[in-house]
Amino acid sequence: MKPGLHAHVDALHLARMTPAETETFLAFVDELAAAARAAILPHFRTAMAVDAKGTGAFDPVTEADRGAERAMRALIEQRFPTHGILGEEYGEKPSKDGWGWTLDPVDGTRAFISGLPLWGTLIALTFEGRPLIGVIDQGFLDERYTGFPGGARVTARGVTRPLMARTCAHLKDATVATTDPFLFDGAEAGGFEMVRRAARLARYGCDCYAYAMLADGRMDVVIESGLKPWDVQALIPVIEGAGGMVTNWRGGPAWGGGQVIASGDAGPHEQALVALKRAAKV
């Protein structure tokens, strides 16, 4: 991890996983991601049914979302019956031992139904709500980004290599991203605009893939709001394992969701927080 960056997973929680247990969980998250791929890919770029959740803003869901979550839940309940499960589509099963799994079967369903390969399956192993292992899986591109205590790696098209976020000392040199500039309301929009104006480049519409690119040293800052736990918990171990950091807009832990900023280096993170803290919600 680069100097000045601090993971939010403390030693107490890391100590609860031995190296052997860590490898067991890493093998299992690969099984979960493979099961999700098998459920999702037959639906991608097909004439599938799209349903809308609720009656407000369009929030799509498809059988790819539902089928992938069912497949992952079935594996978890078979292998780790005492573990909790929190999923976007099927709610929460309480944990009996502190361990849990947080699942977003298709993060970026809007991209998915538009045929864009910027969606991903998000899987997090948590203890008492804190993410320890995370996966961002993009099955169509055959890319799997995995974070764990002490490191992160990507396996892309059969080749595995370490992930390392890049050094970027100043926001003026940074590439920043957000899924949609219309995520932000009122003061939030003003805070993001201040960061965007200060940065070198801004990119939009990448969903969870922006966080993967940050961990891979391609982007520097991702800023979002209104996130749920399943939107963010898997991202945190990947980015922290690659040497980056993820906080809320006040600089605190982000695993509960809400207003989130992820960065590959402390410099632009701290500079962006100057503007974002003014718009941070309690």
Task: Give the residue from 136, 162, 188 where a domain finishes.
Answer: 162
- Tell me, yes or no, whether 158 and 39 share the same domain: yes
Task: Give the residue from 129, 162, 195 where a domain finishes.
Answer: 162
Give dist(CA 218, CA 222) in Å, integer: 11
Residue 152 belongs to a domain: yes
Domain harbouring 187, CATH code: 3.40.190.80
Question: What pLDDT is stored for residue 56 in this prediction?
Answer: 64
- Tell me, yes or no, whether 28 and 135 share the same domain: yes
**What's 195's DSSP letter?**
H
Give dist(CA 132, CA 207) in Å, integer: 21
Question: What pLDDT is stored for residue 269 in this prediction?
Answer: 98
- Tell me, yes or no, whether 146 and 224 share the same domain: no
Token pair recorded at residue 185: 């309301």
- Tell me, yes or no, whether 152 and 190 share the same domain: no
Question: What pLDDT is stored for residue 2 in this prediction?
Answer: 43
The residue segments making up the domain with residue 64 are 11-162
Cβ atoms of residues 135 and 29 within 8 Å: yes
Residue 153 belongs to a domain: yes
CA angle 80, 83, 85 (to 5 degrees): 115
Task: Give the residue from 145, 162, 179 where a domain finishes.
Answer: 162
Residue 5 belongs to a domain: no
Residues 6+ apart with CB under 8 A from 41: 139, 140
Residue 1 belongs to a domain: no
- Tell me, yes or no, whether 155 and 175 share the same domain: no
Residue 54 belongs to a domain: yes
How do the pLDDT tens digits run along the chain, 282 residues long? 343 344 444 544 554 778 889 999 999 999 999 999 999 999 999 998 988 886 567 778 999 999 999 999 999 999 999 999 999 999 999 999 999 999 999 999 999 999 999 999 999 999 999 999 999 999 999 999 999 999 999 999 999 999 999 999 999 999 999 998 888 988 999 999 999 999 999 999 999 999 999 999 999 999 999 999 999 999 999 999 999 999 999 999 999 999 999 999 999 999 999 999 999 986
Token pair recorded at residue 106: 């298709």
- Tell me, yes or no, whether 92 and 185 share the same domain: no
- Tell me, yes or no, whether 179 and 246 share the same domain: yes
- Tell me, yes or no, whether 74 and 195 share the same domain: no
- Tell me, yes or no, whether 107 and 197 share the same domain: no
Q: What is the CA radius of gyration of the chain?
A: 18
φ/ψ (deg, to 5) at 205: 85, 20
- Tell me, yes or no, whether 41 and 117 share the same domain: yes
Give dist(CA 219, CA 202) in Å, integer: 10
Number of domains in the chain: 2
Residue 124 belongs to a domain: yes
- Tell me, yes or no, whether 67 and 186 share the same domain: no
- Tell me, yes or no, whether 189 and 248 share the same domain: yes
Domain harbouring 15, CATH code: 3.30.540.10
**Per-residue buried b or exposed e for 53-84, using 16+ beta carbons within 10 Å of the residue's own CB:** eeeeeeeebbbbbbbbbbbbbebbeeebeebb
**Helices within 114-207 (DSSP H only):** 187-198
Place of tokens 């803003």: 57
